[in-house]
Chain A
Amino acid sequence: MAVEIIEPGLAASIQDRGRPGYYSVGIPPSGAADLRAAVTANLLVGNPPDAAVIEAPYMGPALMFDAPAVVAVTGATMPTLLNGAPAPQWESFPVAAGDQLTFGFLRAGARIYIAVAGGFDVPVVLGSRSTYALGGFGGFGGRNLRKGDVIPVGRANGGPGRAVPEELRPAYRREIELRVVLGLYDYRLTEAGRNCLLESEWTLTPVADRTGFRYSGPVLEWEERIQPFGAGSDPSNIVDAGYPIGSIQVPGGVEPIILHRDAVSGGGYAMVATVISADLNRVAQCSPGTRTRFVPVTLDEALRARADDQARAARLREALEATR
């Protein structure tokens, strides 16, 4: 079977759990920006967690199914309509041949995930079906989805009626705290600059995509120094270094950018902190205007948060398998 894109939405793309292992040669991990929501959508329709789904930021696409299928929509809160009638989110439901799935205006969060039982069957490139649109490969034709695309779906064995228990569904807020580990280059900020980073409220700008999330707020102050050979002349410049996913750079001291799953792998801006892995999915569900604070944690605390997050994921998996 296949799914036709009647309307593409805005920068919707095919994503799976990503393409780890090539960042050192400049290829980012890609994959669903909110991995938890994508994996959940797959589990709801009986797919393996690494099946490919559609990620649609800010605006839903319109899809048509050419055969009966089982579908689930997770992630951002967005009215989901099957042939114009309300359909659930966080719950698998059946569709018939010729049915159309459309969406209303975004209510909370930023990105929806649409899984179809069987998974979107696009070619595997470097171990993943994820689209890396900047690089022009992966996903459907190496690009975001367009009107008229017909995406094949693999063979399925999922059923409808599987739902995420209410208490395990995320709540999205317009005010958020993101946990960060300071470094590696926070020493380049003055003490006032570091305090300003951690004590200010930052507002997410509309520059918020798979590559990075840019925030407006005050100007950070840097320590003066004679720039080392190989570094640019701005005090926020360093000799080129690798950029971790989640790292925060502040070009020119204005508008911090959190790098996300389609980030460039390195460059010459000082990374003053890194958002912990347990909070990256939450970054992906922030829409422009979200008021944000960066809360410093230690590496041990970050690792505990990761373990807690993985335990929550395991509880969710068990809850879904129990309803099978």
Chain B
Amino acid sequence: MSEHVVQSPLPGIFYTKPSPDQPPFVEVGSVVTADTTVGLVEVMKQFAEVKAGVNGTVTEIHAENESIIGPGDGILTVEKG
């Protein structure tokens, strides 16, 4: 088993959920595929979806909801498999 850290592609504000009154995209233990959206980064009034990029299980979430994030910052860790 190997780990993959999903990184933010953009500078901006990170969101763990699609809207404030909805549950987060993923939580620790969520099973994801490469195409699963794990969060949003807001910049220039646009919301860019961040994809998991690999198949596996979320083991840790690093970025807090509505925190300022930079390109390359770790969002969460996925154990591949």
Contacts and interface: CB of A to CB of B under 8 A. Distances in A.
Interface of A: 10-11, 57-59, 105-107, 110, 206-209, 287-289
A289 B68 contact: yes
B45 A207 contact: yes
Most A CB atoms within 10 A — which of B11, B12, B46?
A: B11
A206 B70 contact: no
Contacts of A10: 10, 43-44, 46, 48
A288 B71 contact: no
Contacts of A11: 44, 46
Please list the 9 inter-chain residue pairs (A to B) with the smallest Cβ-Cβ separation, ordered nearest first: A105-B71, A209-B44, A105-B72, A106-B71, A206-B12, A206-B43, A287-B11, A288-B11, A58-B10
A258 to B, nearest CB: 14
Contacts of A287: 11
B79 interface: no
B7 interface: yes
Interface residues of B, number: 16
A57 B44 contact: yes
Given A206-B13, A289-B68, A105 B7 contact: yes
Most B CB atoms within 10 A — which of A106, A206, A209, A289?
A: A206
B31 to A, nearest CB: 26
Interface string B1-35: 00000010111110000000000000000000000
Contacts of A110: 11
B11 A106 contact: yes
A134 B12 CA distance: 22
Contacts of B11: 58, 106, 110, 206, 287-289
13 contacts: A58-B12, A58-B71, A59-B9, A59-B10, A105-B71, A206-B12, A206-B42, A206-B43, A207-B44, A208-B44, A209-B44, A288-B11, A288-B12
